[in-house]
């Protein structure tokens, strides 16, 4: 076990920011922690890094206690690398100077600088440049190279891609994940970006209101979110009132569907969750499962307002080339692939439509 957090809470004055957070990260694992703005992600990372002290609980690394009620190992003595949102490179130092900063003066220092440049796929020609002479993506990769240079046990990444524009973000993320994979270092990323979190690594943890609400392999968490809130937070979701049949199926506006996971705690009246990608609109057909009440072109997609037989309405997006087949007024067939996840019936009515 590399990193161990146990019952970590943090309050600033009367405000509790983290509550009883506990998890373990195995050596070599990449963990993404995802949560909305203000959920406590950065505070959690700062506690692991040693920039903040937990109010209660403990942090341990490879059997060594880093922080608890009586211990607080200094950030620079933890063997933990940290990459901030904006990279925080030293502006007056070149790329070489930045990367070498945390390395002891020794004959092998220059060799290590070149090693981590190669690891992070940085061109050696950049060595003499200053941070302002680099693109945002290059700056973040230099920041990662600097963090990796002293061979830390753990690397912490605090929203390292959020300041980059979309194209650069995907490219930089891929380059950094490849570097982390090659180095085999245990890594924790915090982000508010669900797709980034889902694609980052081996484990995903969801934090909400300072509490860790679910953790596991990304595909499992996405497939079986423990609550409707987590389901909605992780991606577009469609909720429908449903009834269980007692034989592994649920009846909803789409007819009888298989139940993939039943998290409803029993009860016949439930709500079924499915992802828009599970819906396939076909036709037009004679009778149909639904009627198109409006069709709007929106960039490369067409938004179809669909009215189902029992009055349930939803908005569904289809690719542009497909959308022209479904003018307003036509009847369509709707197929649902894969099963649904069931939750306890909501107190308020379900919102129609997929986002």
Ligand X SMILES: Nc1ncnc2c1ncn2[C@@H]1O[C@H](COP(=O)(O)OP(=O)(O)OP(=O)(O)O)[C@@H](O)[C@H]1O
Q: Is 51 in the site for ligand X (CB under 6 A)?
A: no
Q: Measured at the alpha carbon of residue 38, what is the angle toward residues 273 and 147, in degrees to the nearest 5?
A: 105
Q: Is 37 in the site for ligand X (CB under 6 A)?
A: yes
Question: What is d(CA 275, CA 235) in angstroms, rounded to the nearest whole number?
Answer: 8
Question: What is d(CA 244, CA 223) in angstroms, rounded to the nearest whole number?
Answer: 19
Among 19, 35, 49, 146, binds ligand X (CB under 6 A): 35
Question: What is d(CA 23, CA 3) in angstroms, rounded to the nearest whole number?
Answer: 8
Cβ distance to ligand X smaller for residue 9 or 121: 9
From 40-48, 109-117, 235-243, 333-341, span contacting ligand X (CB under 6 A)? 40-48
The encoded tokens of residue 91 equal 């502006």
Shortest Cβ distance from residue 267 to ligand X (Å)?
Answer: 34
Going from the C-alpha of 237 to that of each of 32, 60, 224, 243, 354, the distances in angstroms are 21, 37, 12, 18, 6
From 12-20, 125-133, 170-178, 220-228, span contacting ligand X (CB under 6 A)? 12-20
Cβ distance to ligand X smaller for residue 11 or 307: 11
The runs of H, that is alpha helices, within 228-289 are: 228-234
Cβ distance to ligand X smaller for residue 47 or 176: 47
DSSP state of 235: S
From 34-42, 233-241, 288-296, 337-345, span contacting ligand X (CB under 6 A)? 34-42
Question: Based on the number of CB atoms within 10 Å of its own CB, is 91 exposed (0-12), middle (13-18) or buried (19 or more)?
Answer: exposed
Q: Is 14 in the site for ligand X (CB under 6 A)?
A: no
The encoded tokens of residue 323 equal 């959308």
Among 21, 30, 33, 43, binds ligand X (CB under 6 A): 43
Identify residues 171-230 at the interface with ligand X (CB under 6 A): 192
Cβ distance to ligand X smaller for residue 15 or 106: 15
Binding site for ligand X (CB under 6 A): 12, 15, 17, 35, 37-43, 192
């Amino acid at each position: 076990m590399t990193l161990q957090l146990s019952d970590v809470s943090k309050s600033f004055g009367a405000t509790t920011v983290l509550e009883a957070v506990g998890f373990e990260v195995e050596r070599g694992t990449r963990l993404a922690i995802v949560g909305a703005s203000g959920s406590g992600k950065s505070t959690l990372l700062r506690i692991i890094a040693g920039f903040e002290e937990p109010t209660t609980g403990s942090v341990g690394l490879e059997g060594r206690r880093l922080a608890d009620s009586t211990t607080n190992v200094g950030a620079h003595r933890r063997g933990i690398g940290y990459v901030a949102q904006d990279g925080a490179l030293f502006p007056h130092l070149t790329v070489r100077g930045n990367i070498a900063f945390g390395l002891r003066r020794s004959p092998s220092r220059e060799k290590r600088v070149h090693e981590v440049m190669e690891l992070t796929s940085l061109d050696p020609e950049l060595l003499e440049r200053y941070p302002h002479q680099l693109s945002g993506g290059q700056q973040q990769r230099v920041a990662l190279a600097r963090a990796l240079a002293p061979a830390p046990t753990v690397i912490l990444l605090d929203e390292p891609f959020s300041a980059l524009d979309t194209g650069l973000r995907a490219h930089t993320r891929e380059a950094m994940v490849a570097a982390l994979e090659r180095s085999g270092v245990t890594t924790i990323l915090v982000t508010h970006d669900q797709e980034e979190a889902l694609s980052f690594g081996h484990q995903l943890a969801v934090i909400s209101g300072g509490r860790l609400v679910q953790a596991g392999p990304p595909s499992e968490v996405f497939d079986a979110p423990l609550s409707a809130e987590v389901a909605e937070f992780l991606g577009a979701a469609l909720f429908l009132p449903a009834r269980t049949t007692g034989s592994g199926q649920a009846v909803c506006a789409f007819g009888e569907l298989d139940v993939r996971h039943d998290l409803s705690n029993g009860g016949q009246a439930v709500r079924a969750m499915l992802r828009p990608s599970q819906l396939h609109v076909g036709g037009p057909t004679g009778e149909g499962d639904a009627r198109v009440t409006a069709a709007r072109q929106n960039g490369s997609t067409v938004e179809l307002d669909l009215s189902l037989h029992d009055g349930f309405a939803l908005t569904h997006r289809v690719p542009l080339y497909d959308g022209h087949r479904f003018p307003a007024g036509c009847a369509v067939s709707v197929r649902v692939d894969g099963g649904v996840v069931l939750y306890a019936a909501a107190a308020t009515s379900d919102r129609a439509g997929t986002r």
